[in-house]
Every structure is written in C-alpha cells, then in structure tokens.
Amino acid sequence: MTRIAQIKVHPVSVPLKRALWTAHERIKTASLILVEVRTDDGLTGYGQIHGSPLKDICAWVERFGEVVKGMDALAHVAVWEKLFALTSPRPGGIGGRDGLPPPLPRASRPQITAAIGGIDIALWDVKGKAAGLPVYRLLGGENRPVLTYGTGGYYVEGEPLTACADELARFVANGYRAVKLKTGGESMSEEIERVRATRGAIGADILLMLDMNAAYGVHDCAGFARRVEPFAIHWLEEPLHWYLQPADYVRLAAATSIPLAHGERELHHYSVRDFLDCGAIRYVQFDSTRHGGFTESLRIAHLAAQRGVYVAPHHAPELHAHLVAAFPDVGFAVESHGDPQREPVSFGLYKERAEVRGSYVHLSDKPGFGIEIDWDFVAKHRA
C-alpha cells in the first residue's frame, strides 16, 4: 500500500507591479500555496491552493497532514471524507476524545476547505504517478486540446476607462479566441462603454464573457444585461450580490437571454447542486484550488453533466484542463491569464506544465498532472 508519509506547504507570493481592482477588491500580490505530499514508497504529488490568509491555510494543511499521515495515498475519497467530517459534530468529538481534532470552527470553513483541496489535488497527482497515467486518462478522457479564455480588464487607478479594450485586443492578437472582461466596478453607463469598446476592439467572432464579481442586485443586473445583449455576450459570471441565492438567479435568467455562470465562490458540491437544480446556471465554474480539490470538482462535473450544464472551471488551467478533457459533452473551457504581469506566480512556478498555445491548453502524456516545479522560483518568492 502506498501510504502518506509527509505533507509540506510552500507559500509563494509576488508583489504586482501595479495594484489591480475587481469590482469587489484590491489585488496587490499574486499568491499561491504549493502543497507537497510525499508517500512512503517515494512518490511525490503537488497540489495548489488559492486563498487567504496564507498563514492560516498553511496551518490547516500542516494540521491535516498529521491527521491523514499513514493513510492510503491512493484512497483520495477516504482522505477527503475524513477531513471534511471534522467540520461537523460527531460522537466523541468534544475535546477530541476520539483522537481527532474537535469539530473545526465554523468561521474558518473557507480556509479549511481550501486546505482540504490542496491536499486532495496533490493526492490525484500521486494517483496518476502511481498508475503511470495522466489524470485525464484516469478519468477516461482523451488527450484533446481544451479551449481556454484569457481574463483581463482589471481596473487600474489612473488608466483610461477603455484601456481594457486595448488589453483584450492584445490577447486576441496573441491567439486567444475567447476573452473575459472584468466589469461591475464603475457606473452602469461607464460599464456599457467599456463593453462596447472591448467588443469593437476584439472583433465580432471572438467569445466575450463578463466577470461581474457579484456587483448587482436582480433588478439592476437585469437592466445591465438588456444593455449589453447587443454585444453578443457569451455569459454573465457571478452577476449577483454574494448573499443572493438560486431563486434570485432564476429571476435573472428569466430576464435575459445571456447565459449565467456561477460557482467559484461555493465551498462544496452541496450548494453548487442547488444552483444546478434551479435551472438558471448554464456554466458551472467550481475551483478545485479554492475549495474541496479535484475530488469535489469531479462530483460537480458529474452533477453538471446529468443536467446538461457546461463545465468551465475557474483558474489553474494546468489542473482543470484534465477535468474538462474527461467530459466531452459538457466540458467547455478553462480560465487562463493573458498577461504574465497579472499572474506572475502562475507563469513562474513551473518548469513544465500543460502548454497554453493559441486559445487551447495542450495536455501531455506525463503521469499525474504533468507538472514540474521550479524550486528556485519557490525559494525566491517564499512568503
């Protein structure tokens, strides 16, 4: 049996040359937690986490490493279930009388599910290496190019309103056939102008998605959608305020012909299931590196396939392309970043990974996720 021998964390952070804004928050650094799982028979798997605070998440990963040490490294579901069960009460849990940590604090659930996700992704990498197969083949997928879109149009203080149009036009010139624009941070009339300028700059045959970072209520968003419909918008992503629920998405979907996308901020497949069941979501964007890992994303992809909802995971194309490749009917695309200055960690962390060429991710036949870490980069930018 291949057993978990050690779990290590490597937090990495790079200051951005220019601070950026989404409609919701200011971004000053690009950060990532690399999770390293070693087994007793010499295999090493790597996972990654996007979340904050880095220190808190790292502490959870290290704590969980002690909980699962000695477990079967290929039994990723058993590991996942053991860790996730710690978030709920259980007989003998008071004071940790059963030898496990007491029920974990409710306030830390985002950091806890992120930590579980990083470990889980690394175990999938181990599983592929143990089998000598890439992850997409473990899932029954074939090595096919996976569509990727480039995300840009972040707000930079002092830049012209329509600087986003020039930026996304550069993405298209570099080969992208689909791009995503950050929206929702300015007045509605200014946002319409940003969308108008971007569509004019990229041309009519390029897919254009809008990432709204939960900027609107239902009524305002319906009005916004009506005004951008003439620009052939492929989807509205996270259009509604964070506290609004599936019923609100149903109301919005009835008010616009533009498909809705959602899921990256959800902590687990149970809440995603409710969004899928409501029928309002056409694209699901759950992020393995934020919450729950690859095991949870796979559960969501199966739920989506059963309902005819497209799978378009958020972030980490070198990981999520394996998932999309395994769902030929509903696997739509993965997100990447067209500008290395926006994601210097993603571009610098690897000596080798799936290659983004043109508007597609090209997977290799190497086992696991097919990645090789640049440890000099990790050492230079360790948080």
Q: Tell me the domain boundaries of the chain.
A: 4-133, 137-380
* CA dihedral of residues 76, 82, 84, 89 (deg, nearest 10): 170
Tens-place pLDDT, residues 212-268: 999 999 999 999 999 999 999 999 999 999 999 999 999 999 999 999 999 999 999
Q: Which CATH number is correct for 4-133, 3.90.1150.10, 3.30.390.10, 3.30.470.20, 3.40.50.2300?
A: 3.30.390.10
Tell me if 120 sits within 8 A of 296, measured CB to CB: yes
- Looking at residue 323, what is its pLDDT? 98
Tell me if 295 sits within 8 A of 47, measured CB to CB: no
- Looking at residue 269, what is its pLDDT? 95
Tens-place pLDDT, residues 115-153: 999 999 999 999 999 999 999 999 999 999 999 999 999
What is the mean pLDDT of the segment spanning 29-53? 97
d(CA 174, CA 197): 19
Angle between helix 246-255 and 218-228 (nearest 10) = 30
Cα-based angle 123, 272, 253 (whole degrees, multiple of 5): 145
CB neighbour class for 301 (10 Å; exposed up to 12, middle 13-18, buried from 19): buried
pTM: 0.96
Query: At the fourth CATH level, which superfamily is domain 137-380?
Result: Enolase-like C-terminal domain (3.20.20.120)
Whether the domain at 4-133 and the domain at 137-380 fall into the same CATH topology: no
Tens-place pLDDT, residues 357-373: 989 999 999 999 999 99
Q: Is the pLDDT of residue 339 over 90?
A: no
**What rounded mean pLDDT belongs to the chain?**
96
Banded pLDDT at 89 (limits 50, 70, 90): very high
d(CA 182, CA 186): 11
- Supply the DSSP string of 314-379, one letter for each residue: -S-HHHHHHHHHT-TTTB--EEEES-TTT-HHHHHSEEE--EEETTEEE--SSSBT--EE-HHHHH
